[in-house]
Amino acid sequence: MRIFYGAGHEQFKPSELLRHARLAEEVGFDGIACSDHFQPWWEPGESGHAWPWLGALGASTTKVMIGTAVTPAVRRYHPALVAQAWATLEEMFPGRVFLGFGSGESLNESPLGLDWPSGAEQLELMDEALDMIRRLWNGETVSEGSKHFRTKNAKLHTRPPQSPPLYVSAFNEGAAKVAATYADGLWTVGDPEQAPKMIETYRGAGGKGEIILQALISWAETDDAALEGARKWKGAQPPEYYVEDWHDPQKMYEHAEEEVSDDEFKQKAVISSDPGEHVKRLRALTEMGATSIAIMNCSGADPEGAIRVYGEQVLPALREQ
């Protein structure tokens, strides 16, 4: 069972996240995943760029896997640039890189002038982008591109000996089917109402790769401090934010506070001062079918304390299974 540490660019400055990530490697996490956002889910927040940060992370760690959770190709990024970036990372840090890929959110694309597409078009974009990334990694010259992503004889001139693993994020059955076509694994939220359906669809469509289930976690000395330290992350909870045209962080957070109660938030995230509660909740993800677990550290009260508690108590207990 691999356990990845999640670094939230929305919550902490890049320099802080780098310190957290180094500590996460020291205490025994198997990989580091970071969010890839142009804006945070709330105001005020942070918005460091994931790609240069991953280069710094790779150079300042020695063995952990590194990648994003997750990168889209919609407007901010052309899939050829995504392919180039991850080929470069894999060449520099061979065997340590993965690409987490998703369909994106209006939050990060609309500020760059995009009219947010329908759900069907979002799946089209994902399918076309993943096809192009795979072809470029395989050494093909992509002469004309696709409907949404034009090219003129695009080719990667620096390719590593092997392509990095590609994990596709899915929140709906259409995305799970796309994952089955292109991905080395499915990445989804460890929601007991959603995850089994995503896994079943992925497997039913021929997906044979890993199942990575993600959970938000917050630890502090008291339950109240753990909740308050993670409260900002209510801004990422409403499901409409992942498909509809929501791109004002302040309005998104205000809406989320109205829609998501504290009790509901504590059901969605692992928020507790008790390491045993963290172990119990995360073990449930393996029962859902996870082959890897990815936690996002939302412990605003004491992020480094949370990492140490995980290293001392939570990771060993999870690996006893």
Q: Which of 90, 105, 148, 278 is catalytic?
A: 105
The 8-class DSSP code of residue 116 comes to P
Alpha helices in the chain (DSSP H): 14-27, 50-60, 79-92, 106-109, 119-137, 173-182, 195-204, 223-230, 249-259, 262-268, 275-288, 303-309, 315-318
37 belongs to the catalytic site: yes
d(Cα 247, Cα 115) in Å, to the nearest integer?
11
Decide: 161 and 94 in contact? Cβ < 8 Å: yes
* 194 CB-near residues (< 8 Å, 6+ apart): 171, 188
Q: Which of 9, 20, 37, 278 is catalytic?
A: 37
105 belongs to the catalytic site: yes
d(Cα 173, Cα 235) in Å, to the nearest integer?
24
Specify the amino acid at residue 230. Answer: A
What residues act catalytically? 37, 105
